[in-house]
Amino acid sequence: MESLGVLMMHPMIPYLQEELDKRFRLFRYYDAANKKEFLSLHSPSIKAVVGNSIVGASAELIDALPNLEIVSTNSVGLDKVDLRKCRERGIKVTNTPDVLTDDVADLAIGLMICTLRHICASDRYVRKGLWRGLGEYKLTTKFSGKTIGIVGLGRIGLAIAKRAEAFDCPVSYFSRSQKSDVKYKYYSDVVDLAANCDILVLACPLTEETYHIANQVVLDALGPKGVLINIGRGPLVDEPELVKALLEKRVGGAGLDVFEDEPVVPEELFELDNVVLLPHVGSATVETRIDMADVVVKNLEAHALGKPLITPVCL
Residues that bind ligand 8YV (CB under 6 A): 52-54, 74-77, 100, 280, 282-283
Using alpha carbons, select from 256, 274, 259 the residue that is nearest to residue 206. 259
Annotation marks residue 280 as catalytic: yes
Question: Which CA distances in Å does 214 have to 82, 95, 185, 194?
Answer: 23, 25, 19, 9
Residue placing its CB nearer to ligand 8YV in the complex, 10 or 250: 10
- List phi, psi (to 5°) of 47: -115, -10
Please confirm, yes or no, whether 301 is among the known catalytic residues. no
Between 274 and 283, CB nearer to ligand 8YV: 283
Minimum gap (Å) between residue 151 Cβ and ligand 8YV: 16
Question: How far is 287 from 272, CA to CA, in rounded Å?
Answer: 32
Q: Closer to ligand 8YV at the Cβ: 74 or 210?
A: 74
Alpha-carbon span 86 to 153, nearest angstrom: 26
CA 134 to CA 37: how far, in whole Å? Answer: 61
Per-residue DSSP letters for 13-44? -HHHHHHHHHHSEEEEGGG-SSHHHHHHHHGG
Q: Is 2 a catalytic residue?
A: no
Residue among 103, 114, 205, 195 nearest 152 (CA): 205
Q: How many CB atoms within 10 Å of residue 128?
A: 11
Bridge partners (DSSP) of residue 148 are 171, 199
Nearer residue to ligand 8YV within complex by CB, 203 or 218: 203
Catalytic residue among 18, 88, 262, 287: 262
**CB nearer ligand 8YV, residue 97 or residue 223:** 97
Instruction: Write the DSSP symbol of residue 309.
Output: P
Q: Is the dihedral of CA 273, 279, 284, 286 positive or negative?
A: negative
Q: How far apart, in whole angstroms, are the C-alpha atoms of residue 311 and residue 315? A: 12
Query: Out of 10, 23, 212, 280, which one is annotated catalytic?
Result: 280
Return d(Cα 84, Cα 136) in angstroms, integer: 56
Alpha carbons 173 and 188: distance in angstroms, whole number: 9
Instruction: Compare residues 45 and 285 and give the one whose CB is closer to ligand 8YV.
Output: 285
- CA torsion, points 267, 112, 12, 239, in degrees to nearest 10? -40
Q: Which of 25, 118, 233, 303 is catalytic?
A: 233
Least gap, CB of 282 to ligand 8YV (angstroms): 6
Minimal distance in Å, beta carbon 157 to ligand 8YV? 14
Catalytically active residues, by annotation:
233, 262, 280
